[in-house]
Structure 1
Amino acid sequence: MLGKVFLWLFRIATGLVVLIVAVTVLVYWFASRSLPDYDKTLIVQGISAPVEIVRDSANVPHIFGDRDEDVLYGLGYAHAQDRLWQMLTMRWTVQGRLSEVFGARTLDIDKLLRRFDLYGVAREAVEVQDAETMSKLRAYAAGVNARLDEINTSALGRGAPELFIFNAPVAPWTPADSVAMVKLMALQLSGHLPNEVMRARTSLALPDPDRLSDIMPDAPGQGIAALPEYSALFPGLPRYAKGRGLPDHPLSPVRATALAGASNAYAAAPSRSAAGGTLLANDPHLGFSAPAIWYLARLELTSGGVIGGTIPGIPSVLTGRSERLGWGLTSSYLDDQDVHIEQLNPENTQEYRTPDGFKEFEKRGSIIRVKDAEPVTITLRWTDNGPVLSGQNYDLETVTPPNHVATLSWTALEADDRTIGAGIRLMSAGSVDEAIAILEDFSAPSQNITLADRETIAMKTVGRMPARDPEHRSQGRLPTQGWLQENRWQGYLPYADNPEFRAPQGGILGNTNNKVVDRPFPQHVSYLWGDTQRVHRWRRLMQSRQVHTRDSFIEAQLDTVSFTARSLLPLIGRDLWFTGEAAPDGTPQRLRQRALELLAEWNGEMNEHLPEPLIYSAWLRALQMRLIQDDLGPLAAEFEHVEPVFIERVFRDIDGAGAWCDIRQSSPVETCSDIARMALDDALIWIGETYGTALESLRWGDAHQATHDHQILGEVPLLRHFVNIRQSTSGGDNTLLRGRTKGSLPDPFLNVHGAGYRGVYDFADPNSSVFVTSTGQSGHFLSQHYDDLAQLWRRGEYVPMSLDAELARAANEGITVLRPAQ
């Protein structure tokens, strides 16, 4: 009897194993059907002559054709080969159609994107493009559609394994889709809207409004005139109002200000180059994902070869070089958004107040289809100032009085946007002067473009600068009354007013998102800048050498020394170093002494293998919370990233900022040293509970892992181990090798935002230029090229960025030939 039971158990177990193996093989077979074949000849519609796509050893496509349109056709085909799922999710996002595929969880994202109407504006913008741009947009779209046709006719697994799980129809690609991708990038890079709302909420919460300039400080430099308190603009708003936060979904393009666009770019003139040619380095910073947003490509245009980083869906090399010119991007932080509070007509809520009286909203209904649920209909409304946003968006309800609504003025909402055409034409520019002239058509997102031709270097802020009235009530820093003429935009400033730096006397220029000009309002460009820290370390590295090389630029790009740590630790620990009585092991006092001993000998290098960066980061995080929680109440938790200028102001008692150290609710008068000591104890308790109390054994990289996660499958148990790319990394919030941390518990120091692309271009020997992305070329998680560049990126290594066609052919992964149909 026992033997029979054992036999049947054995048979059942064997059957289960066989079933699991069979299912695994079947799933793999279906998923692998969509793996691209790079070595083939294909007959296609839409090209005039053969197009050749040579995949080099890093799977970078080198695309050759007789006409520029044919080459961009090849780029569209290559993008769809490797990144179809990424392109589709971006298109669903900007169209406000994610819920058709993913259900109710993405409904809030769809509602917000429908209110912005970015896709509708993109369709209108198609009509204003010149004939040459339209020809190239159509060619690129035809290349994408050629791949879609091949998938359908050859049964290539729907083109991406995700499409087996999320069975959604795939419409042909259109020129409007590519224009919309630029609009989507503008949304991802924008930070002024959430900053205005947070500034208003903080102004309301603070018992002493004069302290607003401490916790939300201006970049160092000339001050500005005093602004009204937000409560004076809109009386009666509550001091504390709990916000809903931003949409909690990996596909959300909406970013908190701390995670909006960033980047580094710098250039050296021949006089500062060891080899006598110009140098340019660029590492744009965006949120991490698997695959990365960037896709490397080389295009052989009629004007010559161009190579660099592209974004699937956009037919342009956005950062890269040709034989004659290099260009790099950094977010300019130009203030291109204004929030307006519109007053409704008490007698007719379908009207809003204007300088000339009440006016009816422009309106239309919009139906959002939701997978496995009933459709949702929303009413979209527009005013003269822009679209009406829901109070649930960006926590606008917390700063909007009753009988009012919030609207947004934003350069990306202009229908006469020719940004994509400027990006396409930039690839053919032969000089700095020519490039700057072309970029006048650039509208949004505003960027600082760093340029280098063979003789000179330059930097130009591109993108439309709103013309604001000198009497603007908040100078664009707070939501203002939309019915007052002085708060409304007065058009745009001329392109010549955009900051520009050509052939600097010192031979070096660059940008780390730092403040670039100090001009009076309204020519000020911005009051919000993305960096007050990295620029100090960059300046030191640039000035420490008389001449630079490609390798010294790489060294700067990979630098992990924190100027912030070096400058703040002596301040906050000045009364704690090597003080106090000896304490026995196992006591909090001894743990604190050990931590201080480690930090006292640390040079500020945010190395993944060291314990000091974790102790320092946890201390600063706890310190800021200790300083602000009694003043800001529940709002304090939303300040998730340390503001170094705030800490410095407090500990130097600038303009009375030392008042933050005293806890209002307690009887004693706490000093800043008291708060620093208590915060260090807080940090050590958290570290002990999370990583253990053996301080010398801590590793920053264990907490600071780069999170290249699949935006949909990355949360699926078991599968996430195959699709997510997690790596221990060096750097931090304020290092040139930037690894912006998540900020929120339970893993506040995860590395979620940084350089997904790095490139260094040397015009003394252009083919020695190098580049890399943070994951790999393929978006297919079964491909060897899904993560093959990730370890190079982590180790600070690169792949050759050469325009030598024979070099690409010598060790190619395959050659695809597209032939025109008869």
Structure 2
Amino acid sequence: MAALFRWLLRLFTAAVILAVLAGGTVYYLAARSLPEYEATLAAPGLDAPVEIVRDNANVPHVFGASDKDVFFGLGFAHAQDRLWQMTVLRRTAQGRLSENFGAETLKIDELVRRLDLYGLAQSSVKAQDPYAAGALQAYADGVNAWIARVNSDARGRGAPEFFLFPPEVALWQPADSIAIAKLMGLRLSTHLETEVLRARVSLLIDPERVRDILPDAPGTGLAALPDYSDIAPGVVPSAAPLSRMAGGALSPFAPRAFASASNVFAAAPTRSAAGGTLLANDPHLGFSAPAIWYLARLELATGGVIGGTIPGMPMILAGRSAHLGWGMASSYLDDQDVFLEQLNPDNPEEYRTPDGFEPFETRRTIIRVAEAEPVTITMRWTANGPVLPGDHFGLGSITPPGHVTALGWTLLNGADTSVSAALKLMRARSVDEALETGRFYIAPSQNLMVVDQDTIAMQTIGAMPRRLAGHQSEGRLPVPGWKDENRWQGWLNYAANPRFRAPESGILGNTNNKLVERPFPLHVSHDWGDTQRIERWKALMERRSVHTRESFIEAQLDTVSFTAQSLLPLIAGDLWFTGDPAPAGSPERRRQRALELLAAWNGEMNEHLPEPLIYAAWLRQLQDRLIRDELGPLAVEFTHVDPVFIERVFRDIDGAGAWCDIRQSGAVETCTEMARRSLDEALLWLDETYGGSLESLRWGTAHQAWHDHPVLGEVPFVKWFVNIRQPTSGGDNTLNRGLTRGTGPEPFANVHGAGFRGVYDFADPDSSVFVISTGQSGHPLSRHYDDLGELWRRGEYIPMSLDPALARAAAVGVTRLVPGAE
């Protein structure tokens, strides 16, 4: 027995030693890719030395003798900190994810190839102005200088993730940056999916009920829609849920609920306590670790610029210079149309046009798949756009027999000068000069807010499709592509884009709300991203006669839900303080207690309170009860509560109260009954999920921000090191927006919000502040991987100074790049 014990002890000791050695080896190899910021390095391609001064938040301040050298330095800094993220974004835009990730991402690659994003980016390189062309090439040279350094110095392949995949990293090209810019457009546009969903819903329910569940923004007239069965005869109504794109966190195709959102607002000197203009901006995208945003400062010939970049692109997308501040919000411009293309019955290689049948433009492409045979697909285009298969976006469910669907989209442009426009904006010195740069911006459409020392303005930038007044569906439904009245007639002149300059009120803002009341086809959009946050923003702006940096920060971080304040009296009005006394522990008593808590609640979605969780669970169950009867399985497509729908139902606008009656039952249910049953169901779910008393519930427990690594985030054990989870305040409809997941066992997880926040005060520009939601580094072993995340969660910021001395004062390192061979 003693001998057996000794052998077991030896084996255990050996296993421990081997585990420690293996762990040490893994750590050593992974740590090799951590960049050394205090270094002097030779870099071929430079005309003169470049300094990259990293302040104590690891924000690089890039100084060089020329703008090209500065862009070289930015490319080098991006690659040092985010090389893995950049290469994954590039692979996604190229349709080459499957080379690394196998069949799981094949459908993503197929769709990206059919859209030809990378081919369009390559052809757009020659459309850039000389300055942009030089910046793109210099940036690529800077990225490649770091890749060469990684290879020559055996620096752990550049990032730990590369050890899991083939080590080769292709050199960066100017087209890669343009392709990533186009890739971001995939995350921002949802009109395609909305058109398909509206068509499917219209086949299942009456037209007047379609306007309830897919409502226009309040205050607009609704044009009568055509019957989709007349547009697409032969389509069989289906309530089956749409098939989702595989690939998980790697997919750039987000469901329509997760289209980009954002807040941007500004105050003129007359509304500023210190007499300077103010601007606040917080773009909203899906969370990830690291965040998509990266902070940087560039010292250009026209002066310093500082703000948020996206690794892979050489632009400050949101930020300020000494002369100008700018921010963006998704405009929700209707820049997509789905066209039904009729096939020639005698030759399926031809489609119908106004002038008869014509052949598709076709090209074959090979997708290589890890651990599987390559897949060859044939890409087809019509005059209206690329043809998409029916298994994407549920297109097959709304396509008549003998037809295919094509996508018209302003993003699919081979002479896209949006990068040139962004680089012009960085060098603009006045509001008028900044607004003029929007003339060269194509897609994705944004609301550009700009301020200089004296003036504020907002302009919708991006190409607006020129539709004819006789368009069959006004862009709301898929339409026959062979009819002249449905085809785009090019783009509208830039002068047609909405512009707001120096308003008398002295305040401008956008929360993705409706901008203008103009008749079709100058309408901009029928589908807007917000009807709720804008109401809270207006209240906060009107509360003060003048604003300060602090009041703008307060508005940016505001977590009071106008939606909760307006809907609770509607749905709970007949339930509050009613009902018979109920014994403790009974469902009736629990319901009464929940109603008591909500009656005293001010609508603040605070992470430490129980009321936001009770409210959110109730509204979720209520909407599902209202629509499940009519829509069946298709109800799963409505993952988030639509406040306008709930209001229409409970106010019985245009007969919308009919949603409360369950058609399959003999009785006629009232909205009050539906509200009560939904509350009981929500309370049962809360008890099963969290347990304890209602008072012990905490919104932050359910509403944790998920900053997950898109590749390693689901790997056992590793995920605890690479994922960042934080309890957060806010919700779907608060200014400090934390959009919930909407599905699965954790439907209230915060997965989409302000990954970047910036507030600029031109009375004292160096008091301007910004922050991102994780850290600057994409390396899990770096202390800068998540160091800004806790500041972001607490609503804190870091300085946005253009003073070189401040950057150097507490620098974590200075990298000096000097011309010369490796």
Q: How does 1:495-510 map to 2 (within 5 A)?
A: 495-510=494-509
Aligned equivalent of 1:217, options 212, 215, 218: 215
Alpha-carbon distance, 1:221 to partner: 1.8
Would you say 1:814 and 2:813 are equivalent positions? yes
Separation in 2, partners of 1:732, 1:331: 19
Counterpart of 2:691 in structure 1 is 692
Q: Which residue of 1 aligns with 2:452?
A: 453
- TM-score, normalized by length of structure 1? 0.99
Tell me the equivalent position of 1:254: 253
* Map of 1:110 onto structure 2: 109
Distance 1:518 1:439 in 2: 22
Match in the other structure for 2:227: 229
* Cα-to-partner distance string for 1:425-471 (whole Å, 9 max, x where unaligned): 11110000000111210000100001110001000000000000100
Between the aligned partners of 1:453 and 1:727, the Cα distance in structure 2 is 36
Residue 245 (structure 1) shift? 2.4
Counterpart-to-counterpart distance in 2, 1:417 and 1:110: 22
Contact 1:321 1:761 in 2 (8 A): yes
Residues 1:520 and 2:519 aligned together: yes
Structure 1: 5+ residue runs without aligned partners?
A: none
Aligned to 2:493: 494
Question: Once superposed, which parts of structure 1, at least 4 consecutive aligned residues long, lie more than 4 Å away?
Answer: none
Q: Distance in 2 between matches of 1:681 and 1:232?
A: 42
Please list, as runs of the form range in 1=range in 2, the aligned pairs for 1:737-776 lying within 5 A after superposition: 737-776=736-775
1:129 offset after TM fit, Å?
Answer: 1.2
Task: Tell me the residue number matched to 1:307.
Answer: 306
Q: 2:446 & 2:456 partners in 1: Cα distance?
A: 16
Q: Cα deviations across residues 228-263 of structure 1 (Å, max 9, x unaligned)?
A: 021121123222242212335111000111101100
Q: Which amino acid aligns with 1:162?
A: E
In the alignment, the residues of structure 2 paired with residue 686 and residue 476 of structure 1 have an alpha-carbon distance, to the nearest angstrom, of 40
In 2, the alpha carbon distance for the partners of 1:742 and 1:786 equals: 24
Does the CA-based 8 Å contact 1:296-1:308 persist in structure 2?
yes
Aligned 8 A contact 2:607 2:729 in 1: yes
SS in 1 for 2:291: coil
The question of whether the paired residues in 2 share the 8 Å contact of 1:418 and 1:443 is answered with: yes
Tell me the amino acid that sits aligned with residue 434 of structure 2. Answer: A
Q: 1:34 is matched with which residue?
A: 33
SS at match of 2:590: helix
Give yes or no for contact 1:704–1:741 (8 Å, CA) kept in 2.
Answer: yes
What is the aligned length? 820
2:200 is matched with 201
Shift of 1:816: 0.3
* Distance in 1 of aligned mates of 2:194 and 2:207: 17
- Give matches, 1:131-170, under 5 Å: 131-170=130-169
CA distance in 2, matches of 1:724, 1:228: 48
Query: Helix, strand or coil for the counterpart of 2:423?
Result: helix
1:442 maps to: 441
1:280 aligns to what? Answer: 279
Q: Is the alpha carbon distance of 1:339 and 1:168 closer, same or farther for their aligned partners in structure 2, counting shifts above 3 Å?
A: farther
Q: Could you tell me how far apart the structure 2 residues matched to 1:597 and 1:331 are?
A: 39
2:316 matched residue in structure 1 = 317
Percent pairwise identity: 66
1:582 & 1:236 partners in 2: Cα distance? Answer: 57
Structure 2 residue matching 1:649: 3-state secondary structure: helix
Report the residue type matching 1:796 in the other structure.
G
| Inter-partner Cα distance in structure 2 for 1:254 and 1:693 | 39
Q: In 1, are the aligned partners of 2:157 and 2:167 still within 8 Å (CA)?
A: no
Q: Which residue of 2 aligns with 1:710?
A: 709
Q: Which amino acid aligns with 2:232?
A: F
* 1:366-515 pair list within 5 angstroms: 366-515=365-514
The 10-residue stretch of structure 1 (93-102 or 240-249) with the greater mean CA deviation from structure 2: 240-249
* Residue 731 (str. 1) matches residue 730 (str. 2): yes
Structure-2 separation of matches of 1:252 and 1:395: 17
Contact 1:96 1:113 in 2 (8 A): yes
1:239 aligns to 2:237 (yes or no)? yes
Alignment of 1:313-392 (within 5 A): 313-392=312-391
Partner Cα separation in structure 1 for residue 520 and residue 579 of structure 2: 51
Tell me the SS of whatever aligns to 1:577: coil
Query: Are the equivalent residues in 1 in contact too, given 2:108–2:245 (CA < 8 A)?
Result: no
SS in structure 2 of the partner of residue 740 of structure 1: strand
Take 1:685 and 1:396, find their aligned partners in 2: how far apart are those partners?
38
- Cα deviations across residues 281-328 of structure 1 (Å, max 9, x unaligned)? 000000000000000000000000000000001101000000000000
RMSD: 0.8
Please give the TM-score of this superposition, normalised by the length of structure 2: 0.99
Q: Residue 178 of structure 2 aligns to which amino acid in structure 1?
A: V
SS in 1 for 2:250: coil
Q: Residue 644 of structure 2 aligns with which residue?
A: 645
| Secondary structure of the structure 2 residue equivalent to 1:427 | helix
Give me the whole-angstrom Cα distance separating, in 1, the residues matched to 2:71 and 2:50.
10
Q: Which runs of 5+ in 2 are unaligned?
A: none
Aligned partner letter, 1:305: G
AA aligned opposite 2:208: D
Contact map agreement 1:268 1:509 (CA 8 A) in 2: yes
C-alpha displacement of 1:747 = 1.0
> Residue 754 of structure 1 aligns to a residue in which SS?
strand
Q: What is the rounded CA distance, in whole Å, between the counterparts of 1:385 and 1:110 in structure 2?
A: 22
State whether residues 101 and 168 of structure 1, in contact with CA within 8 Å, keep that contact through their aligned partners in structure 2.
no
Partner Cα separation in structure 1 for residue 277 and residue 591 of structure 2? 50
Partners of 1:84 and 1:136 in 2: CA distance: 19
- Looking at structure 2, the residues matched to 14 and 455 of structure 1 have their Cα atoms a distance apart, in angstroms, of 72
**Offset at residue 591 of structure 1 (A):** 1.0
Distance 2:427 2:232 in 1: 51
The answer to whether the Cα contact below 8 Å between 2:234 and 2:401 also exists between their aligned partners in 1 is no
Provide, for residues 663-711 of structure 1, a one-character-per-residue CA deviation record: whole Å limited to 9, x for no partner: 0010110000000001101111111110114110000011101000000
Partner amino acid for 1:220? P
Report SS of the residue matched to 2:26.
helix
Residue 607 of structure 1: how far off its partner (Å): 0.2
Listed as ranges, the matches of 1:577-596 within 5 Å are: 577-596=576-595
Deviations 1:252-283 (A, max 9, x none): 00011110110000000000000000000000
Partner of 1:250, secondary structure, is: helix
CA distance in 1, matches of 2:794, 2:192: 36
Distance across 2 between alignment mates of 1:231 and 1:612:
45
| Contact 2:239 2:632 (8 Å CA) reproduced | no
Q: Deviations over 1:83-116 (max 9, x none)?
A: 0000000000010000001111101100110111
Question: In 2, Cα distance between the equivalents of 1:81 and 1:594?
Answer: 55
> SS at 2:248's partner residue?
coil
**Cα distance, 1:590 vs. partner?**
1.0
Contact 2:291 2:755 in 1 (8 A): yes
- Maintained 8 Å contact 1:334/1:446: yes
Deviation at 1:170, TM superposition (A): 1.0
Question: Aligned residue for 1:567?
Answer: 566
Task: Tell me whether 1:268 sits opposite 2:256 in the alignment.
Answer: no
User: What per-residue deviation string (whole Å, max 9, x for no partner) do you get for residues 153-179 of structure 1?
Assistant: 111011010000112421100000011
- Cα pair 1:189 1:261 within 8 Å, conserved: yes
Q: Aligned letter for 1:712?
A: V
1:212 is matched by which residue type in structure 2? V
Tell me how far apart the structure 1 counterparts of residues 113 and 745 of structure 2 sit (CA, whole Å): 32
Cα shift at 1:718 = 0.6
Q: Conserved in 2, the CA contact under 8 Å of 1:317 and 1:427? A: yes
Query: Aligned equivalents of 1:15 and 1:595: distance in 2?
Result: 58
Is residue 247–residue 254 contact of structure 1 (8 Å, CA) maintained in 2? no
Task: State the one-letter code of the partner of 2:623.
Answer: Q
Segment of structure 1 superposing worse, 246-255 or 13-22: 246-255
